[in-house]
Amino acid sequence: MGDFGVIADVSNIIVETLNESLGVLSGVEAPIAELSDLSGPVQTPPPKLTVFLYEIAEDPASRNRPPVRSQPPGAPTTRKPPMALVLRYLITPWGGDQLTQHRMLGRALQAFYDDAILDGTRLSGSLAATTDALHLNLTPLTLDQKSWVWYAIQKPYRLSLNYEVRVVDLDSQAVSAVRPVRSRRVEGARAS
Here the CATH number for the domain that contains residue 110 is 3.30.2000
- How far is CA 128 from its chain centroid? 14
Domain membership of residue 183 (yes or no) is no
Instruction: Let me know if residue 127 belongs to a domain.
Output: yes
CA distance 92 to 69: 42
State the pLDDT confidence band at 175, using cuts at 50, 70 and 90: low
Query: Is the residue at 188 inside a domain?
Result: no
The answer to whether residue 59 scores a pLDDT higher than 60 is yes
191 found inside a domain: no
Spell out the alpha helix ranges (H) of 78-189.
98-114, 143-152
**Over 70: is that where the pLDDT of 26 sits?**
no
Residue pLDDT, tens place only, 79-103: 777 888 899 999 999 987 888 889 8
Residue 24, domain member (yes or no):
yes
pLDDT at 176: 64
Confidence bin at 105 (pLDDT 50/70/90): very high
* Amino acid identity for residue 139 in this structure: T
pLDDT in tens, 45-58: 888 999 999 989 98
Peptide bond just before 165 cis, omega within 30 deg: no
Q: Which residues pair with 175 in a beta bridge?
A: 79
pLDDT digits (tens, 9 = 90+) for 154-163: 888 888 999 9
Domains identified in the chain, total number: 1
Any domain includes 73: no
- Domain holding 90, by residue range, is 6-63+79-175
Mean pLDDT of the chain: 83
In this prediction, residue 27 carries a pLDDT of: 63
- Round to whole Å and give the CA distance between 142 and 140: 7
- Looking at residue 88, its pLDDT comes to 93
- pTM recorded for the entire structure: 0.80
